[in-house]
Amino acid sequence: MLRQGAQLALNSLQEWLDEIDEATLAAVTMRAIAQDPALRAATRRINHAHLAFWASETVRDPGAPVRLSSRSGIPCPAR
């Protein structure tokens, strides 16, 4: 079931990303970021990379922990 959900995310990636971007940047706490073009773009890139990475890793090995590493190439601001 995890693999199917992750595959669905990959198949519907752009639609999901549009909704995630809209919801993330609409939050009151994100107003300053949403109004700054550079921060808005960076937030979108990070969200897109994380969802694609999670879905790909879950298709590859459902149920295994998905951990970002420096080898993933995905920015991880919480290091």
Residue-wise pLDDT tens digits, 24-71 = 999 999 999 999 999 999 999 888 888 888 888 889 889 888 877 655
Q: How far apart are CA 67 and CA 58, in angstroms?
A: 11
Residue 34 CA to residue 20 CA, distance in Å, equals 13
- What is the pTM assigned to this prediction? 0.72
**Cα 5 from Cα 22, distance rounded (Å):** 21
For residue 75, the 8-state DSSP code is -
The most distant pair of C-alpha atoms in the chain lies apart, rounded to whole Å, by 39
Length of the chain measured in residues: 79
Q: Which amino acid is at 33?
A: I
- pLDDT band, very low/low/confident/very high, at 79 (cuts 50, 70, 90): very low
